[in-house]
Amino acid sequence: MTATVTASVTPVPADGMLLPVPDDDGAPFWAYAAKGELRVQACRDCGARRFPPRPCCPRCRSFEDEWQRVSGRGRVWSYVVAHPPLLPSYAALAPYDVAVVELVEDPAIRLVGNLVAAPDAPLGSVDAARLRIGAPVRAVFCTLGEGDERVTVPRWMLERP
C-alpha cells in the first residue's frame, strides 16, 4: 500500500544550510522521516488529517492523534525559483526551486520541499524549465548534517524527469 521510498545512505554535509528545528508538535514528523517514512498527523477520533501538526483537531477538538503513513506521491501545487540576495549557503546554489507539493491522498495537505535529480543531489539540480504545476512527484529522503545535528528531510523527484 505504501510505495517504497529511497533514502540517501551517506549524510550530506549541511554546509550552512538551515536544518529543521522541530517543535513538540512537529517532532514525530521528523522522527518518521529519519526512518524513511512520510507520515502526517491525523485525528484518532474523527480521522481528519492536519498540517502543520498542532495539539488538537480543528474539526472535532480531540487531543488524540495518530501519524498516518502516506504513499509519498503528490503533485506540484506551485513553485518558485529563488535568486539572490539569499543567505550565503543558499546563494551558492541559486537559482534553485522550492515547490509546494500536494499529497495524492489529501490535496489540502501540502508540503514545502525541493525538486531534486537524486535523493542526495543539491538544490537546483533539476532544470527549472522542467517544472510545471500539476507535475506528479514522489518523495525521497536525504539526511543532512552530522552528529547531533543529523536530520532527514523529504525531497521530491519528478515521476517523469
Residues that bind other proteins (CB under 8 A): 17-23, 25-26, 30, 51-52, 58, 77-83, 85-87, 90, 93, 95-96, 98, 100, 108-114, 123, 128, 133, 144, 153
Burial of 22 (0-12, 13-18, 19+ CB in 10 A): middle
Three-state DSSP class for residue 18: coil
> 140 or 144, CB closer to other proteins?
144
CA dihedral 46, 51, 54, 57 (to 10 degrees): -20
> 5 or 99, CB closer to other proteins?
99
Three-state DSSP class for residue 147: helix
Q: How far is the CB of 69 from other proteins (least distance, A)?
A: 18
Grid coordinates standing for 38? Answer: 512520510
Q: How many CB atoms lie within 10 A of CB 104?
A: 16
Q: How far is the CB of 152 from other proteins (least distance, A)?
A: 11
> 1 or 7, CB closer to other proteins?
7
> 3 or 27, CB closer to other proteins?
27
